[in-house]
């Protein structure tokens, strides 16, 4: 009997970079086991051009990506969410909608690449760094033996994953 896919929602304020990257990464690395979505509390309405550039360079399909409001996932006809992760500190501090099904939640905060100031090349490197940090967490997450963990243990594990950081570039 095939196992069901787990639905994962990544939340950010603008839904233009971090949450979009995480949505793509979980769909890639969790193929067949996880299905990713993203949304924002105050979406910008567009995906940041450097996000799209990075994802295309990494061979992601970007045609269906869009910036959307998190309310889309709180409706009765929305996909049943199993996990909800905030990827920015502002969204983590906001009052979220009530998610049907009581998904497991955790904060996986990373720096905002859109707010990073620098040359275009420095900005591209920073976008890549943020993507890599999210991707590392997602690879660990999708490898968890979810079916064999009780809810409390699983909640603890996904919260631990949110504390994993890349080493500072100066220490490499």
Q: Which residue of the set 52, 58, 96, 149 is catalytic?
A: 96
Among the listed residues 8, 11, 20, 88, the single catalytic one is: 88
- Catalytic: which of 8, 9, 11, 12? 12
Q: Is 88 a catalytic residue?
A: yes
CA angle 52, 104, 153 (to 5 degrees): 120
Active site residue 48: no
CA distance 93 to 101: 21
Q: Is 12 a catalytic residue?
A: yes
Give catalytic residue positions.
12, 88, 96
């Amino acid at each position: 009997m095939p196992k069901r896919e787990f639905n994962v929602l990544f939340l950010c304020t603008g839904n233009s970079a971090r949450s979009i990257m995480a949505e793509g990464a979980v769909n890639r690395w969790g193929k067949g086991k996880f299905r990713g979505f993203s949304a924002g509390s105050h979406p910008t309405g567009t995906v940041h051009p450097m996000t799209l550039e990075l994802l295309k360079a990494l061979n992601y399909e970007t045609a269906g990506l869009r910036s959307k409001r998190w309310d889309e996932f709180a409706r009765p006809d929305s996909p049943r969410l199993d996990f909800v992760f905030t990827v920015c500190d502002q969204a983590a501090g906001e009052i979220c909608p009530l998610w049907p099904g009581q998904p497991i939640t955790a904060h996986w905060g990373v720096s905002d690449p859109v707010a990073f100031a620098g040359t275009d090349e420095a900005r591209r490197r920073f976008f890549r760094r943020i993507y890599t940090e999210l991707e590392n967490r997602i690879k660990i997450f999708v490898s968890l033996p979810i079916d064999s963990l009780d809810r409390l243990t699983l909640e603890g594990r996904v919260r631990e994953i949110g504390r994993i950081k890349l080493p500072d570039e100066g220490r490499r």
